[in-house]
A and B are shown apart, each in its own frame.
Chain A
Amino acid sequence: MSTAIPCDDFISISNSPSMGFGDEVGKLKEFLKDIVRRFGETETLGQSDKAIRSLDKEFDECSVEGWDGYDALPITKSTYNEAKRLIESLPLTTFPIPEVVPEPSGEIGLEWYREERQVFVASVSGRNEIVYAGLLGVNKLHGTEYFGDSLPSVILENLKRLYKD
Chain B
Amino acid sequence: MGPVDRLEALSRFVLQKTYIRADNTIRPAAFLPNPKNGETSVFRISGITDNEIWAIGDSKVAPKQNRPILGRADINASIVLSNYLEIIPSEPPERHADITGWPEEKSEQKQIALELAAESEFHKR
Contacts and interface: CB of A to CB of B under 8 A. Distances in A.
Interface of A: 58, 66-73, 99-107, 109, 111, 113, 116-117, 119, 121, 123, 131-135, 140-144
A121 B114 contact: yes
Given A140-B115, A142-B108, A101 B34 contact: no
B21 A113 contact: yes
Contact of B118 (A66, A99, A106, A119): A119
A132 B108 CA distance: 9
Given A101-B18, A103-B29, A116-B118, A69 B67 contact: yes
A101 B107 CA distance: 15
A103 B32 contact: yes
Contacts of B36: 71
B28 interface: yes
Nearest to A67: B16
A132 B113 CA distance: 12
Nearest to B64: A69
16 contacts: A66-B65, A69-B16, A71-B35, A71-B37, A72-B35, A73-B35, A104-B29, A104-B33, A104-B35, A113-B21, A117-B118, A119-B28, A119-B118, A133-B108, A135-B111, A142-B108
Contacts of B11: none
